[in-house]
Structure 1
């Protein structure tokens, strides 16, 4: 087989491997049968509609949205100044700091969740929701620092220095000159952090309890007792949501420039 034919074949097989499971989930979510199965037993939208009637899904979706939005915002509040310091100043231990900031994505999430449960929640009685919030903020902090750092590295520092020479304070130059020029990177960091937090499973698995569940954990619990296609329908909806967010980010922000 020539290389000219071999490359398209490999590309096609790769696309099948990546997109195939997604297509199977979509087909299963449209099944008219009463159990999760592929190929689908007829076609129907009733399981898609049922997703919106399950109260636990609505509550856990609200919890996931809260953690994803506000956890990412908290990460940005900490990550933007940290990225600025790492990008603009020659810190004596800059690489060590970068490694420490990256630890939440280097250390397996199961270990992080177990450590928070064992050393914060159990001995000190920390509120589960508050612990989940801190955990999700910490998990997306590395993305905030890295993406914003990439934006700052692409921004000429002499623009900021010119603003200072013209009479602006360093803080004023940051908000008037730097922030507007890196807003694309900040939005990209928010979107990446939002998607990462919303789909987080290992940490949330250890920090969930009665009345406090994220949507992925609620979906796992639902499958333990019910095996109807509504779980496939919800999975398909979430996949479309994530794809839509990333597509819009790429379309309007050039998402691939930052990640």
Structure 2
């Protein structure tokens, strides 16, 4: 009896986690003209229509730009910061770690409103620049925390040996440290990319006319049109995110860093 109860609990858990994905996949494959589940027949026409909507293509390009270059910028800042926090005794290091983690801890709505009120409006920043800075700040904690985890697992003896053999600190970092933590850096990039690409609350405050990320564009689209194309696009994005995480887990062992 206990064995069946465990299997039942496991089945309900999987249903709770996977059920919404199944609903979205089949809702996007509906042959009808409105978003319904169960679908009115099956067709792939709405999956094909996703690629013909101009606003989806433009917002996808913007989201991709923000996810890639925002994450790269966060890594350029986060890797040196993680190295300093891991290798040196810095006064107030715990406070610094808390401040760096603030974008994860503080609700996204508050972050978006604060950036809009105290950065975009007073300084008259453009929408794209504001989104870029916001997405960089949002993924910076992942860069610092994941890279710090890799550095903590790397013994400092190797670096010190390189310095004793004549390398400068920069040479020891580029030739010894960086190659040994590249898995953590790549894991941080993937986590940052997925987080940035799927970001909603902050982007909702900072998006503007003609400049919207893909999740915000999908919300705006549903206010006007209630066809299954949004469900189809949601399914495609879910598959993309799952594929990225799956490949990262197989190649990098992503779970070791998070």
TM range (shorter): over 0.9
Aligned residue for 1:189? 188
Matched residues in 2 for 1:161 and 1:5: separation?
Answer: 56
Distance (whole Å) between structure 1 residues aligned to residue 122 and residue 88 of structure 2: 40
Provide the aligned length of Structure 1 versus Structure 2. Answer: 258
Question: Is 1:200 the equivalent of 2:188?
Answer: no
Unaligned runs of 5+ in 2: none
Q: 2:55 maps to which residue?
A: 56
Give the alignment of 1:76-115 within 5 angstroms.
76-115=75-114
Return the offset for 1:225.
Answer: 0.5
The answer for the alignment partner of 1:160 in structure 2 is: 159
RMSD, matched Cα: 0.8
| Partner of residue 138, structure 2 | 139
- C-alpha displacement of 1:132: 0.7
Normalized against structure 2, the TM-score is what?
A: 0.98
1:116 and 1:109 mapped to 2: Cα distance?
11
User: Moved runs in structure 1, 4+ residues, more than 2 A?
Assistant: none
Map of 2:37 onto structure 1: 38
Offset from partner CA, 1:154-193 (integer Å, 9 cap, x none): 1111011111111000000000000000000000000000
Counterparts of 2:6 and 2:96, CA distance in 1: 42
Q: Whole-Å Cα distance in 2 between the matches of residues 14 and 185 of structure 1?
A: 30
TM-score using structure 1 length: 0.98
Deviation at 1:123, TM superposition (A): 2.4
Instruction: Provide structure 1 residue ranges, at least 5 long, that are not aligned to the other structure.
Output: none
For residues 238-249 of structure 1, the aligned pairs below 5 Å read 238-249=237-248
**3-state secondary structure, aligned to 2:142:** helix
Q: CA deviation at 1:124?
A: 2.3
Match of 1:216 in 2: 215
Aligned residue in 1 for 2:20: 21
Q: Distance in 2 between matches of 1:100 and 1:67?
A: 23
Cα deviation digits, residues 45-84 of structure 1 (max 9, x gap): 1000000000000000000001000000000000001110
